[in-house]
Chains A and B, each alone.
Chain A
Amino acid sequence: MDSFNKVVEVGEVASKFFHGMTLMFGGFGGVGTPPTLIDCLIESEVSDVHLIGNDAGFPWIGIGKFVVLGRAASLIASHIGSNPVAGQLMQEGKLVVEFSPQGILVERMRAGGSGIPGFASEVGIGTKLSYEKPVLDIDGKEYLFESALTADVGIVHARKADRYGNLVFNKTAQNTNPYVAMASQTTIVEAEQIVEVGSLEPDEIHLPGIYINFIIPSEGINWKWVWET
């Protein structure tokens, strides 16, 4: 593997997905979720997948397209309201859902990618979302211990990538993507545009390519947004 040219065909990354894997995905309601990699995941026929990401997408958008197939065993997310099928699978006991407050979720990813086992926070104290989390007493005040999250595979969407994997995101499509890349053992980025090493200004790079293992060219968004339907 040439670390200065991580660009491969989409067919070559399908083998990175495996049964029982933990998969982290970037995106917020599908914005910033890589459409070509989602289709690749669906075609891979892997199941018993443990998902970690902001939300469950919509049934026809983002990770939602995979969730509705019933091949995910669990999901850690901040909300699933936009994907009623996810709610139904959860009620039927077919999908184990752990809710994590949105910013705590991404901070847990950041911890996972930064060599930090976890952190303390008061968010969720005294609520159902405290689950069985350890309670820490710091200077007489109670905090929840939030454990770091990591994944076997991470899928990320970027506006631009150079062949090393230096990434530039676009507007609100950035969201959780940098932290997905950091927290995953194998990170695959789908880029709308792939450029030569050296053609990005160091100052414009949102995420250094050190976190990226494979780059595939995007075939573009292939779903209709809610506001387009």
Chain B
Amino acid sequence: MGDVRRMIAARAAKEIEDGMVVNLGIGIPSLIPDYLRPETKVFFQAENGILGMGPTPVNNADGDLINAAGYPVTVVPGASYFDSALAFGMIRGGYIDLSILGALEVSAEGDLANWLVPGKRVPGVGGAMELAYGARQLIAVMQHVGKDGSPKIVRECRLPLTARKCVSRIITEKAVFAIEPDGLHLLEIMEGSTLEDIVNSTEADLIIDVS
């Protein structure tokens, strides 16, 4: 399970390019910085008020310097702090190049459900809706199927939506998909998976771009 999450994070790290401003969600996305090439030049934004977030401090954690998950972080040279209105102004204003968020379900059209499972715990949406609307590119990362084996890449989301038509790419431990106007494209089969397995465990129809 841990390996699967790390496999997804490692693949997602390859989507991050030099010069990008990136916002990472909690869960699998928070593992991504471990897999970036050390020379990659990016600014991580944290919606609680940092542009230029750095790694976890080795010691001397500062209770006033945390990431959006509430854990201590550091900052990199050139970083800035700001209030929540500015943080989300940046997000809705289209200044975040890439957001990578965990997902519960994604539809073939790129609808995202990632905040509420009815009848289960009630977390609330946090900043996910605005990241979904505002980030210039949104990648959803998740395990390919649910704990009961049910597909999570679906024709229509059954869970309450975070935002419509916002996801451009899906990365799971089995495959990488792109959502285009003509449908859901299978771009890449991950090591250890097969086309047949992916087709059988994906509810949405696929346009297969791999041989």
Interface residues of A (CB under 8 A from B): 28-32, 54-55, 77-82, 84, 87, 90-91, 97, 99, 101-104, 106-107, 110, 121-129, 159, 169-179, 206, 221, 225-227
Contacts and interface: CB of A to CB of B under 8 A. Distances in A.
A31 B130 contact: no
B87 interface: yes
Interface of A is mostly: mixed
Nearest to A127: B161
Interface in B42-64: 46-50, 61-64
Given A106-B84, A172-B65, A123 B127 contact: no
Contact of A103 (B65, B72, B130): B130
29 contacts: A28-B48, A31-B48, A32-B64, A55-B126, A79-B123, A84-B121, A97-B122, A102-B47, A102-B88, A102-B125, A103-B91, A104-B129, A106-B83, A123-B133, A126-B163, A127-B129, A127-B160, A128-B160, A172-B50, A172-B64, A172-B65, A172-B81, A173-B64, A174-B49, A175-B48, A177-B83, A178-B83, A178-B85, A179-B85
Interface in B12-30: none
A99 B129 CA distance: 12
A20 B166 CA distance: 40
B129 A129 contact: yes
B35 interface: no
A126 B166 CA distance: 13
Contact of B49 (A123, A172, A227): A172
A221 B63 CA distance: 9
Nearest to B61: A227
A182 to B, nearest CB: 10
B170 to A, nearest CB: 20
Contacts of A126: 161, 163-164
A226 B197 CA distance: 40
Interface residues on B, range: 35 or more
A143 to B, nearest CB: 12
A126 B130 CA distance: 14
Contacts of B192: none
Contacts of B65: 171-172
Interface string B127-151: 1111001000000000000000000
A101 B124 CA distance: 9
Given A104-B130, A178-B83, A226 B88 contact: no
B89 interface: yes
B70 interface: yes
Nearest to B26: A81
A63 B72 CA distance: 20
B81 A103 contact: no
A80 B124 CA distance: 6
Contact of B121 (A81, A106, A107): A81
A79 B130 contact: no
B116 interface: yes
Nearest to A29: B70
B122 A107 contact: no
A218 to B, nearest CB: 12
- Residue among B61, B81, B160 with the most chain A CB within 10 A? B81
B89 A103 contact: yes
B84 A175 contact: yes
Contacts of A77: 124
Contact of A79 (B49, B71, B84, B125): B125
